[in-house]
Amino acid sequence: MQISNPLKVLAASVGWEQGQAWLNQQWLKFRGRVATVPAPEVVPPTDCAACRVTLEYSYKITQSFDEPLRLVMRETEQSALDIMGRVKDLDHTASQLVNYLTKADQDTLDMHAQIQNSSVSIERIGQFMQQLPEKIEAERQGSAELVEKINQIMELSATAEAIKDISRLTNMVAINAAIQAAHAGEYGRGFTVVADEVRRLSTRSGEAADQIGQTVKSIHQAIHAYLDSRLQRDFAHDLREAAHVAESAHQLQASHEDMNQYYKTLLTVVKEYNSNMANAIVEALGNMQYQDVVRQRLERVLIAQTRYRDVLQAALDDPALPSSPRFKADMEQVLSAYLEEESHHGDQSNAEGGDESSAPMIELF
Amino acid sequence: MKTIFLVDDSATMLMSLSEILQKAGFTVQTAADGADALSQFKAGAKPDLVITDQNMPGLTGIELIRETRKLPTFRFTPILMLTTESQQAKRQEGKAAGATGWLVKPVAGKDLLGVIKQVLPGA
């Protein structure tokens, strides 16, 4: 760079010949000092293409970060809300399951009451079974009395035989009477008519007695046959039915007890799972707070970027600014303000660390 | 059934905390900012507990506490701050305004319920 000697020009202009040599010497000394400590070349940013490009693109790049960061905030918030909606549905489903099982548990209690009632019924059946032989015996005795009555009816048959004997004797007497009447001749004619009539009646009485005897026998045999078969059939059937009922009742009771135990076990297990799931859901919902923590952190980054761009914009507007101390101070201020703000917020990852973050996460006053 | 009033400008926070508290058997009311909360309080809302965020548009959490404490019905109502802010100076400011406690986000669900049990005996 060519530097003209201003002192030489000044001396020449004023005609100060005497001082010319001295001034010239002073200039040479000054120029020598300047030459030993070269002054920094002050170039306005507008004249530094690279600097301007740096400023412009720093501005544009940070500006381009803004929208994606906002998008991240919106999308993570929407995702968090969606997840919570699903968790809520899951929780609702789990609650319904527990409600269902609670109802089942109530049903089991009801069933237990029914089992108790069944036990009473079974007890009654048992008593019935115990009394059954006595009842059968009583019924047999009742049947025996019936048979005795029937046997008494059979005595009618003997009466019929007696009637037949009387009928035979009457017939003999009637025959004799007829013979005697024949011997009597004309006088015995009326008597002969009576004897014939008596003999005819005797024959009819014998026939009737015979018929009664046959009928009584027939009835006696029929009743005996009926009673025997009924007693055999009914008692066997009753015994089988009673045994079947008792067995069914025992099976029913066992089934109820099994079912009761099964429901109780199922309910206990599901309630435990549900309790674990409820705790997990609460923790999952609690973790959703991280979305808000991240959102606020991004918001602080966005604020710092805006301040940073304001400083860059000022430098682009004023080419002399980057070379001034104010530019550096502004940058420093943007950085320190961001770091200061960030330090005011809890950081779980460093909860054991620095002074601020070592403050309790929960404090009651 | 106790009523808890949540104040937060984050929909995520309102939804997650509402679910946690409702599951625990509380009735939950919400407001998306301090001004809305204050107007609801003035309109007659009387929760048993208020949980508020600090950084919200308009009225901050501490400002909300300051204004709420002026309402006669809220003089003794516990108010918890739930915020990402953790510095001591801000806590002291909250305490001076009338906050009952300070919780730094995120707080585990069981821890939150534990704190509520402490400030709401019988809950």
**CATH number, residue A106:** 1.10.287.950
Distance CA A65, CA A58 (A): 11
Q: Which of A287, A321, A347 is the last residue of a domain?
A: A287
pLDDT in tens, B64-120: 999 999 999 999 999 999 999 988 899 999 999 999 999 998 888 889 999 999 999
Strands B3-7 and B27-31: parallel
Distance CA A27, CA A9 (A): 12
> Would you give the DSSP letter of residue A38?
P
Instruction: Indicate whether A298 pLDDT > 90.
Output: yes
Say yes or no for a CB contact (<8 Å) between B86 and A295: no
Q: Which of A92, A345, A349 to mutate to test the interface with B (most CBs of B within 10 A)?
A: A345
Query: Is A35 in the same domain as A109?
Result: no
pLDDT in tens, A79-121: 889 888 888 888 888 778 778 777 777 776 777 677 667 667 6
Highest mean pLDDT among A69-78, A192-201, A347-356, B65-74: B65-74
3-state helix, strand, coil in chain B (%, to 5): 45, 20, 35
Distance CA B27, CA A214 (A): 98
Query: Is A195 in the same domain as A98?
Result: yes
The pLDDT assigned to B68 comes to 96
Query: Is A129 in the same domain as A73?
Result: yes
> Would you give the DSSP letter of residue B123?
-
- Provide, rounded to the nearest whole percent, the portion of chain A with pLDDT above 90: 13
Instruction: Indicate whether A123 pLDDT > 70.
Output: no
Query: Is A225 in the same domain as A242?
Result: yes
How many domains does one find in chain A?
Answer: 2
The pLDDT assigned to A47 comes to 59
Say yes or no for a CB contact (<8 Å) between A291 and B84: no
Query: Is A10 in the same domain as A155?
Result: no
* Tokens 């534990």 belong to residue: B114
Strands B101-104 and A362-364: antiparallel
Instruction: Name residue A142's beta-bridge partners.
Output: none
Query: Is A10 in the same domain as A95?
Result: no
Distance CA A308, CA A46 (A): 20
Number of other CB atoms surrounding residue A27 within 10 Å:
16
Does some domain include residue A312? no
Query: Is A74 in the same domain as A32?
Result: no
Length of chain B counted residue by residue: 123
Nearest to A288 among B12, B55, B103 (CB): B12
Q: How far is Cα of residue A322 from the mean position of the Cα atoms in its chain?
A: 69
Q: Which residue of B has its CA nearest to A348?
A: B106
Residue type, A152: Q
Query: Is A268 in the same domain as A146?
Result: yes
Domain ranges, residue A10: 6-39
Q: Which of A287, A313, A345 is the last residue of a domain?
A: A287
Number of other CB atoms surrounding residue B20 within 10 Å:
25
Does some domain include residue A357? no
Instruction: Report the b/e string of A146-155 with b at 16+ CB within 10 A.
Output: eeeebeeeee
Instruction: Name residue B28's beta-bridge partners.
Output: B4
Residues of chain B in contact with residue A348, where contact means CB-CB under 8 angstroms, are 106
Does some domain include residue A68? yes
Does some domain include residue A294? no
Does some domain include residue A98? yes
Does some domain include residue A307? no
pLDDT in tens, A274-294: 888 888 888 888 888 888 999
Alpha carbons within 13 angstroms on the beta-carbon side of residue B34 total: 19
Q: How far is Cα of residue A81 from the mean position of the Cα atoms in its chain?
A: 25
Number of other CB atoms surrounding residue B2 within 10 Å:
15
Q: How many helices (H) and strands (E) does chain B have?
A: 5, 5
The pLDDT assigned to A21 comes to 52
Query: Is A197 in the same domain as A72?
Result: yes
CATH of B3-119, one of 3.40.50.2300, 1.10.1200.10, 1.25.40.10, 3.30.1370.60: 3.40.50.2300
Distance CA A100, CA A107 (A): 10
Does the CB of A278 have a partner CB in chain B at under 8 Å?
Answer: yes
Query: Is A147 in the same domain as A25?
Result: no
The pLDDT assigned to B21 comes to 94
Does some domain include residue A314? no
Q: pLDDT higher for B37 or A164?
A: B37
Does some domain include residue A344? no
Distance CA A137, CA A231 (A): 11
